[in-house]
Amino acid sequence: MNIPEHLFIGDGGALFDVRTVDWSASALRADYRRTFTAIDTVAQFKATLRAGAYAWPGGYPMYFITSDGAALSFSSAKAEYRNVVDSIAHGHNDGWRIVGCQINYEDGEMVCDHSGEPIESAY
């Protein structure tokens, strides 16, 4: 994802505007790119999506969990972005409301419940 040159994402995932004086003292968004294990808001979902499908540190593969317990890959969450955002924003239990993000440590048989694509396991 490309952002304008005047914006900077810090190591902690905060977004800064470097055009302002003393820019490092106040972030535009503290959690711009960060993995949330519990997702309650659209902003948390967006931040987790921006952080990517692999945990840092460690590089472990992650997946989303919906309110009905389904596993959803990052690519499916991106493809169905509008459905996911609408469901989170309005509290729908329609299979698209993402409520968490976890690492797939050992389930070598896990697949995305939407696309059927395999979700990589760490071991």
Same domain, 46 and 96: yes
Give 70-89 pLDDT, tens digit per residue. Answer: 999 999 999 999 999 999 99
Kindly report the pTM of this predicted structure: 0.92
Same domain, 92 and 64: yes
What ranges make up the beta strands (E) of the chain?
A: 7-9, 15-17, 62-66, 71-72, 98-103
* pLDDT score of 1 more than 70: no
Please state the φ and ψ torsions of residue 122, each to the nearest 5 degrees: -70, -35
Q: Which domain holds residue 110?
A: 34-123
Give the containing element (helix H, strand E) for 112: none
Q: How many domains does the chain have?
A: 2
Same domain, 83 and 62: yes
Question: Considering the chain, what percentage of its residues have pLDDT values greater than 90?
Answer: 95
Same domain, 80 and 62: yes
Same domain, 65 and 86: yes
Same domain, 39 and 24: no
Same domain, 100 and 76: yes
Same domain, 41 and 19: no
**Inter-residue contact 52 to 94 (CB < 8 Å):** no
Same domain, 40 and 84: yes
